[in-house]
Chain A
Amino acid sequence: MSEDAGSVTNATGTMTGGGLGRALGEVPRSARWILPAAAAAFAGTETSAIGQRERALLILRVASIERSPYWRTQIEGVAGDLGLTEDEITLVESDEWETAPAFDDRERAAILWGDRVARRLARRDRVAYETVRAVFDEDAFVELTMIAALAAMHARIANALRIVPEPPTGLAPRARPISDDVFRTWNASMFDDHAHEEIAS
C-alpha cells in the first residue's frame, strides 16, 4: 500500500471501512470522498431522517438482491444494538418480509424501496413509490433512495473486487450515528497540505 493510500485508510478509525477502505486506498482521490459518503449513508448522520433499524433493513435487502455477503456479516455483528434479531435478518433475505408482522410500516417501506432500487424497478413502480411516500416525506424519500443506491454501489465494489467479509467496521449502521466532528476530522486530515502533497506526489 502506498503512503497516500495509507493516509486515506488510516485517517480515522470510524470511517476506514475495513476491506473496502483498504481496497479504495489504492485510488485515494476517489476514496477520500467515497468513504465519507458511504459512512454518512450506512452509519447515519446526526440529521438523518431514516431510523437506524430502517437503514439496516434497507441495506440488507439491497445486499440480498445484489448477492453480496458483505452486509449480512457487517449487520449481524451490530444487530443487537439495532434491535434486530437473526430471524428478522433472515426474513429480509427471503420473500416473507412483505407480510411479516415483525416489521412496522416504515420498516417494510424501507425494505420495499431498497428492493426496487436494487432491481432497477424504482423508476416505473408507482405502487411501490406511493407506499413509500405514504410514510416518508420528500426529503426522507431522497435520503432513502441515496442510501439504497450507495448500498448497491458498495455491494458491487465488494463483489467485483471479491472483498472478504470481515467483522463489523465503522461503515455498519449503529445505534449512535456518526457525529459532525468525525466528518470534520476526516475532512481536515484528507485535505490538509500534507495530504495534498502526498496525493499529488
Chain B
Amino acid sequence: MSSVPPRVPTIDDAEASAEVGRIFDGARELLAFVSNFARTAARAPALARWVIPMIAAIQRGGPDAALDPRIKELAILKTSTLNRCFF
C-alpha cells in the first residue's frame, strides 16, 4: 500500500462543476463508482470524458473482446507491477 500523499486533491461530488458532474455520472454508469483516478483526471475534463470510458472499454471489454477476461487481468496485473503502480 502506498504512503505517498497525492499530488493533486481529488474533486468531491459537492464541488464538481456541471461538466465534471456529467463525467462522474458517466463513470458511475460504466464502473458503478467514481474512482479516485476519475476524480483526479476530471481536473482536465476535456480529456477525462474520453479517457474514463476508454479505460472501461479496455478493462471490461465487451461481447466482441478477443481476450479471455483472465488473460486480460493477468496482462493488466503484470503491466501494473512493472510500472510499480499499486492502484
Contact = CB atoms under 8 A, between A and B. Distances in A.
Nearest to A48: B46
A34 B62 contact: no
Contacts of B84: 120, 123
Main secondary structure of the interface of A (DSSP, over half): helix
A197 B7 CA distance: 43
A29 B61 contact: yes
Contacts, number: 67
B43 A142 contact: yes
Given A120-B83, A129-B7, A29 B62 contact: yes
Given A29-B61, A30-B58, A138 B8 contact: yes
A144 B8 CA distance: 13
B12 to A, nearest CB: 15
Interface string A128-142: 010000000011011
B6 to A, nearest CB: 11
Interface stretch (A36-44, A80-88, A94-102): A36-44
B51 A37 contact: yes
Contacts of B40: 142
A170 B66 CA distance: 28
Interface residues of B, number: 27
Nearest to B65: A29
30 contacts: A27-B66, A28-B64, A29-B61, A29-B65, A30-B58, A32-B57, A33-B50, A33-B56, A34-B58, A36-B50, A37-B47, A37-B50, A37-B51, A37-B54, A40-B50, A46-B46, A47-B46, A123-B4, A124-B4, A129-B7, A138-B8, A139-B44, A141-B7, A142-B43, A142-B44, A146-B41, A146-B44, A146-B48, A146-B51, A200-B64
Q: 8 tightest CB-CB pairs across the interface, nearest first?
A: A143-B44, A33-B54, A37-B50, A142-B43, A45-B46, A139-B43, A36-B50, A30-B57
Interface of B: 4, 7-9, 40-41, 43-48, 50-51, 53-54, 56-58, 61-66, 83-84
Interface of A: 27-30, 32-34, 36-37, 40-41, 45-49, 120, 123-124, 129, 138-139, 141-143, 146-147, 150, 199-200
